[in-house]
Amino acid sequence: MNKIIAHVLAFSLMLGFMLLHSSNAAELVESEIYQPAPNKHQPATQLRLLALNPAQRHLSDLLFPAQSMHLGLPSTQELSALTQQQTEHKALKIGIDRQVPALPAVKDWVWQPVLGGQAAQFIISSEAAASLRALVELEQDLPTGVELRVFAPEQADEVYGAYQANDFKPLDTSVKQLQLWTPSISGSQLGLEVFAPEGINLDQIQLSVPQISHIDYDFKTARFKLADEAILKFSSCDVSMACAPSTWQSTAQAVARYIFTNSAGSSFLCTGTLLADKDTGTQIPYFITAAHCIDDPTLAASMDFYWFHQETSCGSGNAPWVRTTGGADLLASRSELDSSLVRLRSSPPAGALLSGWSLNTLSTNAPVVGIHHGSGNPKQFSQGSFVSYANVSNSTNGFMVTKDPNGSFTQVAWTQGVTAQGSSGSGLWTMINGSPYLKGTLVGGSSSCSTPNSPDEYTRLERFHPYVTTWLEATGGKVSSFVNPNQALTALVDGVIMARYLAGKRGAELTAHVSTASVNYTQLETKLDLLKPSLDLDGDGLLEANKDGILMIRYLAGLRASALIGQFDFSNSKRKTATEIQQYIEMVLF
C-alpha cells in the first residue's frame, strides 16, 4: 500500500481549517535525526537480461544486440539555452530538451527469453551528456506483469525500477498519454528494458520516448561539459561546509541538492531542507524549498535528491554523496510567498536530519546562516546577519525588493560566503538558546563574489506556516469537518462535499442540502484544490466521484469489508482489497 499518498491525503483533509488560526509566534520545533524503519529499503533492482549467467549473457549480446538510437552532439543553439540563467532567482539550469525520433514499436525490439517470460532492451544516446533522463509515454496501460527498468549502460550498478502500469500518470492535462520522467542516468547513454511475462501480447505494450533531457552538468566535477563555464560564477569566494564551525555540521545533514525537470524537458538544480513536525512519534520526510523551483505536482514527481554532498574534510576535494530517486508529492505551494512543501516518496538515507524550525521574528542584526549547493557544488556555508523584512515582487529581469517591517520576506547580508544559482530553496537558520532553527528559504538576491555584501532575500516561515500547519503541526488527532472545525468528518456532509468536488461541482453546489453552516466557498475550494491530487483513494491514477468519492462516503458511514468496496473494479488499482483501502483511510483520519 502506498503509505506516502495516504499521509498526503490525511493531512490535506485537515489543511484549510488551520489556515484560519494565527500561528503561535513563539513556537519552536526541535530537530530529529532521521531513522528509516527497519527493512524499509527494497533490495537493489536487477536487469532481467543481466540475470543470465556470464556465458549466456555474452552469447546473448552477440546474437541479440540491443537496438539503439544516437542523437549526436547538441548544437551550439541548443546549448545556448543553458546560458539563459536568471540573475536574481537562483535555480541553476543544467539540462536541455532533445526531441527523440519515433522508436521502433516495442514488439519489434530484439526479444530474448528470460526466466518467467521475455525481455528486450533499447538504448538512447546523446553525445557528450553528463547524464540523461527520459520522458516515457504510454498510449494505454501496461498489461499486468509488464515491467520497465531504466539503466545506465556505462554504469553496471545503476538500475531503476521496476515500473509498472500504476507508476505512469497523466503529467500534462493537454495530452491523453500516461507519462513518467525516469531518474537521471549517469553518462551519455540511457537504457530501457521491458519485461513481458509469458502469455503477454507484445502489441499491447505501446511505449514511446518523445523527449529526453540532456544534462550537461557533471556532478562529479561540478562543471558543465560543453556549455560556457562563465555560467558558474561561484568559486573564488565560496566557503565549503566542511570548513564551517562544528556547531553547524549537524544542521547541514538536513540539506539536499535536487534535480527536477519541467514539461519542456529543461532540467534544473535547486536546494531544499528536511523539516521536522510536532509529532515526535513519527518521522515523515517533509521537504521545504522554493516555489520558483517546485510549484506543481509534475515538477515534484521529477525530483531526484543528493544527500550529504560535502567535502569529507576542509579542502579535501573529496565530496561523495548518497542519491535517492522516486520524486515527491506536492503538499502546498504559495507563489506569493515563494514557498513549497513536498513529501518525499522514498526515504532519505539514515543519518539525515529533520531540521527544527522557529516562528519567532528576527531581532535587529540577528546572526543568520545559509547552507546550500551554490552552482551545484558540494555543500556551502554562508554567514551574516538579518538586515530587515521586505516585500518582493516579480519584475521582467527577476524581482524587486522593498523594505517593509511587516513584509513577508527576510533580507540578509553576508560577512562570509555568498549564494549562487543552485542555492534556490536552501534554508536560513538562526541560533536560539544555542540550537539552530530554520527561518525560511532562499528566493534569490544579488550577493556574488564581486559584490559579497549585497543582500539576499529569503522567505519567512512564519508567513508560510499557516498553509502547512496540517502537516507540520500534526499530532495524530482526528480530522475536522470541512464546514465545522469543532466536529469530526461525516459521510453525509464532508464525504458528499468531496464527491461533489470530484464531479465538478463548485460554489454553493458543494454544500447544497447537506449543510446550513455559513461557508466561505473561495476558502473551501482552495482547500479542495490542494486536496485534489491526493484523492485517488484506490491508487488507480484516476480521480473519480463515483469511485473515490463513494469509497470515502462509505467509510465515513461506517461500512467495512465487502460493504466498503462492493461493486467496484480494482483490477488497475494499487489498493485492491477492503483491508488496504480501510487502512489507507484510517491513516488519513487517525
Supply 572's cell numbers: 488497475
Supply 144's cell numbers: 499486468
Residue-wise pLDDT for 168-206, tens only, equals 877 665 566 788 999 999 999 999 999 999 999 999 999
Between strands 435-445 and 456-459, the pairing is: antiparallel
Distances (CA, A) of 517 to 250, 484, 493, 521: 49, 8, 11, 11
Closest to 350 in 3D by CA, of 95, 38, 25, 52 = 38
Query: How many Å apart are CA 552 and CA 548, to the nearest integer?
Result: 6
Burial 88-102 (b: 16+ CB within 10 A, else e): bbbbbbbbbbbebee
Supply 586's cell numbers: 484510517
Instruction: Write down the domain spans for the chain.
Output: 3-30+236-470, 56-79+97-218, 478-589
Q: 317: phi > 0 → left, psi -120 to 50 → alpha, else beta; which?
A: left
Helices (H) and strands (E) in the chain, counts: 11, 31
Q: Which CATH architecture has domain 3-30+236-470?
A: Beta Barrel (2.40)
Q: 244: phi > 0 → left, psi -120 to 50 → alpha, else beta; which?
A: beta
DSSP sequence for 516-543: -S---HHHHHHHHHHHGGG--TT-SS--
> Exposed, middle or buried by CB within 10 Å (0-12, 13-18, 19+), for 508?
exposed
Query: How many Å apart are CA 300 and CA 582, to the nearest integer?
Result: 27
> Exposed, middle or buried by CB within 10 Å (0-12, 13-18, 19+), for 297?
buried
Residue-wise pLDDT for 85-118, tens only, equals 655 566 889 999 999 999 999 999 999 999 999 9
Answer yes or no: are the C-beta atoms of 370 and 272 closer than 8 Å: no
- Residue 156: strand, helix, or coil: strand
Instruction: Name, in order, each residue with C-beta under 8 angstroms of 214's C-beta and a sequence gap of 6 or more.
Output: 71, 74, 78, 95, 96, 97, 98, 126, 129, 132
Residue 76: beta bridge partners? none
> Exposed, middle or buried by CB within 10 Å (0-12, 13-18, 19+), for 144?
exposed
pLDDT tens for the chain, 590 residues long, are: 333 333 333 333 333 333 333 334 458 999 999 988 664 445 557 898 875 445 555 566 666 677 899 999 998 888 887 776 655 566 889 999 999 999 999 999 999 999 999 999 999 999 999 999 999 999 888 999 999 999 998 887 889 988 998 888 776 655 667 889 999 999 999 999 999 999 999 999 999 999 999 999 888 777 788 765 655 555 578 899 999 999 999 999 999 999 999 989 999 999 999 999 988 878 889 999 999 999 988 899 999 999 999 999 999 989 999 999 989 988 889 999 999 999 998 899 999 999 999 999 999 999 999 999 998 889 999 999 999 999 998 776 678 899 999 999 999 999 999 998 899 999 999 999 999 999 999 999 889 888 888 999 999 999 999 888 878 886 544 556 788 766 777 888 989 999 999 999 999 999 999 888 888 898 888 878 777 767 888 878 889 999 999 999 998 888 888 889 999 999 888 888 888 888 777 665 55
Task: List, in sequence order, every beta strand (DSSP E) within 367-516.
Answer: 367-372, 380-395, 398-403, 409-416, 427-432, 435-445, 456-459
The reported pLDDT for the residue numbered 8 is: 33
Q: What kind and span of H or E run contains 562? A: helix 562-565
**Angle, to 10 degrees, between the axis of helix 521-531 and the axis of helix 3-19?**
160
Closest to 330 in 3D by CA, of 3, 574, 5 = 5
CA 196 to chain centre: 30
CA 356 to chain centre: 20
- Residue 304: strand, helix, or coil: strand
Query: Domain 56-79+97-218 has what CATH class?
Result: mainly beta
Supply 368's cell numbers: 543568520
